[in-house]
Amino acid sequence: MEQGTNKNKVYVVGHKNPDTDSVCSAIVYANLRGRLTGRPHVAKRAGQLNEETQYVLEHFGVKAPQLLLDLRVQVKDVELRKTKGLKGSESIKTAWSIMREQNLKALPVTRDEKLEGMITVGDIATSYMDVYDSDILSRARTQYRNIATTIDGQVIVGNEHGYLLSGKVAIVASSRPLMSEFIEQDDLVILGDRVEAQQLAVDLNVSCMVVCGDAHIPDDILEQAKEKEIVVIISPHDTFTVARLVNQSIPIRHFMTKENIVSFKMKDYVDDVKEVMARKKFRDFPVLDGKGNFLGFLTRRRLLNSRRKQVVLVDHNEKNQAVDGIEQADVLEIIDHHRLSSIETMGPVFFRNQPVGCTATIIYQMYQENGIEIEPVMAGLLCAAIISDTLLFRSPTCTPLDTATATRLSEIAAIDMESLAQAMFKAGSNLKGKGAEEICFLDFKQFTVGETVFGVGQVSSMSKEELAEIKEKLAPQLEKIRKNHRLNMIFFMLTHILEESTELLCTGPEAREKAAAAFDLPFDVKDLQLKGVVSRKKQLVPAMVEALQQ
């Protein structure tokens, strides 16, 4: 039986440092694609939510998507070989029979589904080749039922659930005087149809008597054995066969590997698993869940058949903004409203990119095109996304289609856009208790021009006082943040929504000079005030890219 991944699941995810459009568009598009295809589409987020987005989700009573930090192939994306675990009390013979039947080299030993050890072909070979002591059955606490099953016999007297706890295994093939010297109390003796030998075994108070060849046992001897609580097993095999088979009754817990078992978890990444496998000679590696329960075996061959995660990207198409490991994922679709960039795919994908102010506008178009009626809550999320991305239609990125779409969505969701915008922007600019680095990356995107890697963060507010407090906290730490994240430059936009202007903070070699040149400002000006600049995508980034290219 095979255990594997949910092959139909598709993740819908926005960019790192997600904003309201990225998160809300992922949620709503996952809903649309699920309704259209019948396949489970699961919204994810690629970073921590900012205050504005948290407010929007709470306002509409929508649970935040779970965090997705890496799209690399994991163990859960691989088909596992599902093998039932054996109890430690099972016999070596039982384990060997299962291995031959299922063509396995190892079996898990479990208790209440938790892995206790591994029994391998090598362990079984050891039980045959390297065991010379005759008291091995008692040291291994072998159950009488195991012994009977292994030699195809049955317990006719005594408790089959009992254990051989002391004594050795002996074959009775000598005279009575020699037997008396060799056989001791609590031994397990293997004998045939000699009545005097059977009687002597009872007299010596052995713990178990195995009678071969289905030989007759007088009733009086059986009665004596019963009184003395001696277990009597009868087998159809001859003495040689029984003696050869009896060690196979030893419970596997005695020979199983208990220490230094190399196991993996479902969340482990295949890249890391391969490195471990390369250093080990094992064929089968157990996979456990978070509680230590055995789930199945992972092998090198099965890693070759691992499935890539399937993903839909919304609100970005740039690799450095995507979830880590995107190169190992199977990108099915990209829905975006930004410039074309560096995402590479394994094959053709559905790509939709429109010059509008918000991804949410595109997604509502897709509802309309497919004749799907949007639910009020989904409409509310999309409306909030458009309000956020267009700064309530003040951003130059805003198009008439964005305005018309938001208006229609607000009617469906029965919301007042002005009131919602004020509450959203107030929540977004409330950064009390947050450190400088946390503020910097709340709404942050990274770009590459030639060999220059720069990042642009932004905070929007309706209050000058709030922006001043953020500047006071962030400006002294910006250079340290840049060095910690190995960026050439950082630009941070302190955007006043009502005044439709931005103060730009800069750090990095020539960052201030490039910004001043991009917006035709004097190099010696104290503060870089950008009148009419509120959009990172349409105003700041294009200007900075052109300045850096020059």
Across the range 152-163, mean pLDDT stands at: 94
Q: Where is average pLDDT lowest: 7-11, 47-51, 226-230?
A: 7-11
Across the range 193-203, mean pLDDT stands at: 91
* Residues 296 and 80 sit within 8 Å (Cβ to Cβ): yes
Residue-wise burial string across 357-392, b where 16 or more C-beta atoms lie within 10 A, e elsewhere:
bbbbbbbbebbeeeeeebeeebbbbbbbbbbbbbbb
Across the range 280-287, mean pLDDT stands at: 87
pLDDT digits (tens, 9 = 90+) for 340-367: 877 777 778 899 999 999 999 999 999 9
Q: How confident is the model at residue 7 (pLDDT cuts 50, 70, 90)?
A: low
Closest by CA position to 70, among listed 303, 268, 277: 268
Q: Give the tokens for residue 543.
A: 């200007």
Contacts of 451 (CB under 8 A, 6+ apart): none
Q: Please state which CATH number belongs to domain 436-549.
A: 3.10.310.20
How far apart are the C-alpha atoms of 191 and 222, rounded to whole Å? 15
How far apart are the C-alpha atoms of 120 and 126, rounded to whole Å? 10
Across the range 219-234, mean pLDDT stands at: 95
Closest by CA position to 206, among listed 180, 174, 167: 167
Residue 222 has pLDDT above 90, yes or no: yes
Q: How confident is the model at residue 301 (pLDDT cuts 50, 70, 90)?
A: confident
Backbone CA torsion sign across 543, 545, 548, 550: negative
- Cβ burial of 434 (10 Å; 0-12, 13-18, 19+) is middle
* pTM for this predicted structure: 0.68
How far apart are the C-alpha atoms of 126 and 330, rounded to whole Å? 47
Across the range 306-328, mean pLDDT stands at: 91
What pLDDT is stored for residue 1 in this prediction? Answer: 36
- Measured N-to-C along each axis, helices 359-369 and 20-37 cross at an angle, to the nearest 10 degrees, of 20
Closest by CA position to 144, among listed 52, 70, 206, 57: 206
What pLDDT is stored for residue 5 in this prediction? Answer: 43
Output the CA angle 485-487-491, nearest 5 degrees: 110
What pLDDT is stored for residue 224 in this prediction? Answer: 96
Contacts of 537 (CB under 8 A, 6+ apart): 338, 339, 397
Tell me the one-letter amino acid at 21. Answer: D
* Residues 130 and 250 sit within 8 Å (Cβ to Cβ): no
Across the range 305-327, mean pLDDT stands at: 90
Tell me the one-letter amino acid at 24. Answer: C
What pLDDT is stored for residue 95 in this prediction? Answer: 93
Helix, strand, or coil (residue 374): coil
Q: How confident is the model at residue 2 (pLDDT cuts 50, 70, 90)?
A: very low
How far apart are the C-alpha atoms of 397 and 391, rounded to whole Å? 10
Closest by CA position to 25, among listed 452, 334, 473: 334
Residue 228 has pLDDT above 80, yes or no: yes
Across the range 31-55, mean pLDDT stands at: 94
Q: What is the helix (H) or strand (E) element at residue 157, kind and residue range?
A: strand 154-157
- Report the share of the chain in percent with pLDDT over 70: 98
Closest by CA position to 57, among listed 25, 15, 13, 17: 25
* Dihedral-angle region of residue 160 (phi above 0 means left; psi in -120 to 50 means alpha; beta otherwise): alpha
Domain 92-254 fold is: 3.40.1390
How far apart are the C-alpha atoms of 46 and 239, rounded to whole Å? 70
pLDDT digits (tens, 9 = 90+) for 407-430: 999 999 999 999 999 999 888 877
Residue 453 has pLDDT above 80, yes or no: yes
What pLDDT is stored for residue 132 in this prediction? Answer: 65
What CATH superfamily classification does 2-73+308-428 receive? inorganic pyrophosphatase (n-terminal core) (3.90.1640.10)
Contacts of 175 (CB under 8 A, 6+ apart): none
Q: What is the helix (H) or strand (E) element at residue 428, kind and residue range?
A: helix 417-429
Across the range 238-262, mean pLDDT stands at: 90
Closest by CA position to 547, among listed 446, 403, 450: 450
Residue 131 has pLDDT above 70, yes or no: no
What pLDDT is stored for residue 236 in this prediction? Answer: 96
Q: How confident is the model at residue 6 (pLDDT cuts 50, 70, 90)?
A: very low
Instruction: Count, in order, helices (H) and strands (E) of the chain.
Output: 21, 25
pLDDT digits (tens, 9 = 90+) for 478-501: 999 999 999 999 999 999 988 899
Cross-strand pairs, 288: 265, 294
What pLDDT is stored for residue 188 in this prediction? Answer: 95
Q: How confident is the model at residue 180 (pLDDT cuts 50, 70, 90)?
A: confident
Q: How confident is the model at residue 129 (pLDDT cuts 50, 70, 90)?
A: confident
Q: In the chain, what are the domain boundaries?
A: 2-73+308-428, 92-254, 436-549
C-alpha distances (whole Å) from 58 to each of 28, 52, 320, 386, 411 are: 15, 10, 29, 17, 20
How are strands ordered across the β-sheet holding 452-461? 444-449, 452-461, 489-496, 501-507, 528-531
- Output phi, psi for 211, to 5 deg: -105, 125
How far apart are the C-alpha atoms of 332 and 326, rounded to whole Å? 12
Report the mean per-residue pLDDT for the chain.
Answer: 91
pLDDT digits (tens, 9 = 90+) for 58-108: 999 999 999 999 999 999 989 898 888 999 999 999 999 999 998 888 999
Residue-wise burial string across 300-322, b where 16 or more C-beta atoms lie within 10 A, e elsewhere:
eebbeebebbbbbbbbbbbebbb
